[in-house]
């Protein structure tokens, strides 16, 4: 019964392809693929999967335009809030230059991944008129992934900079944390950026 149903469906598909004027090359046996000459067949489905892709009834995962994810935040002022005199504090920003997908929360200065994938992150945290050494960590959820240091006492401005490719799961959080020192001189011109390289 199932074999008869499949045969009927194949006949309907071939008839549709012929009506559309698509050339079909059949293989010598049932195991060889069907080749569509000069045409592009698109499979669509309106049921999104949990990772932002689309899964068809045939089990085909189709990636949608939601794969575009990018953000870039900057610090535009040298205002010195009192909480930045303490260590182990999230470094926050006051302007967003790019926020495609709106996954960077400016108030919390935290990026939340909309889907599983490989992401690129980079940061550049400037300390101003501050002789203390600072250590900045890129945090993945609650765990430090990479660090950068700035501690030259003979310059008025110095930056702690680093970057990394990171595999991130959906709903994971990525942010910057001041692990050592303070930013009481301000951190104007500091940046924090990231984007989805490709989904998994």
pLDDT in tens, 97-130: 999 999 999 999 999 999 999 999 999 998 876 6
Q: 110 in a domain, yes or no?
A: yes
Looking at residue 55, what is its pLDDT? 44
Please count the other Cβ atoms lying within 10 Å of the Cβ belonging to residue 180: 16
How many domains does the structure of the chain reveal?
1
Residue 131 counted as domain residue: yes
The whole-angstrom separation of Cα 10 and Cα 33 is: 13
Note down the domain range covering 184: 70-199
Distance, in Å, from the CA atom of 118 to the CA atom of 172, rounded to the nearest integer, reads 12
* Cα dihedral 80/81/87/93 (nearest 10): -80
Q: Which one is predicted more confidently, 15 or 34?
A: 15
Q: How far apart are CA 72 and CA 124, in angstroms?
A: 11
In a domain, 57, yes or no: no
Q: What mean pLDDT, rounded, does the chain reach?
A: 75
* pLDDT for res 170: 97
Whether 42 shows a pLDDT value over 50: the answer reads no
Q: Is residue 123 situated within a structural domain?
A: yes
Residue at 32 is within a domain: no
133-159: pLDDT as tens digits:
889 999 999 999 999 998 776 666 788
- Residue 161: CATH number of its domain: 2.60.120.40
- 25, part of any domain: no
- Please tell me the pTM assigned to this model: 0.66
Asked, for residue 161, whether it belongs to a domain, the answer is yes
Task: Look at residue 45 and tell me if it is in a domain.
Answer: no
Confidence of residue 160 (pLDDT cuts 50, 70, 90): very high
């Amino acid at each position: 019964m199932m074999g008869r149903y499949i045969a009927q469906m194949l006949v309907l598909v071939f008839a549709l392809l012929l009506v559309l004027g698509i050339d079909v090359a059949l293989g010598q046996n049932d195991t060889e693929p069907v080749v569509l000459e000069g045409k592009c067949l698109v499979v669509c489905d309106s049921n999104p999967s949990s990772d932002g892709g689309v899964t068809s009834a045939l089990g085909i995962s189709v990636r949608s335009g939601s794969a575009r994810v990018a953000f870039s935040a900057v610090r535009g002022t040298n205002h010195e809030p009192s909480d930045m005199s303490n260590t182990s504090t999230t470094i926050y920003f006051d302007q967003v230059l790019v926020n495609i997908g709106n996954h960077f929360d400016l108030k919390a200065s935290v990026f939340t991944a909309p889907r599983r994938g490989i992401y690129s992150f980079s940061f550049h945290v400037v300390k101003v008129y501050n002789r203390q050494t600072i250590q900045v960590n890129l945090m993945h959820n609650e765990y430090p992934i990479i660090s950068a240091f700035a501690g030259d006492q003979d310059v008025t401005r110095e930056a702690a900079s680093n970057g990394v490719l990171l595999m991130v799961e959906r709903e994971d959080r990525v942010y910057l944390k001041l692990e050592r020192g303070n930013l009481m001189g301000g951190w104007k011109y500091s940046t924090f950026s990231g984007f989805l390289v490709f989904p998994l």
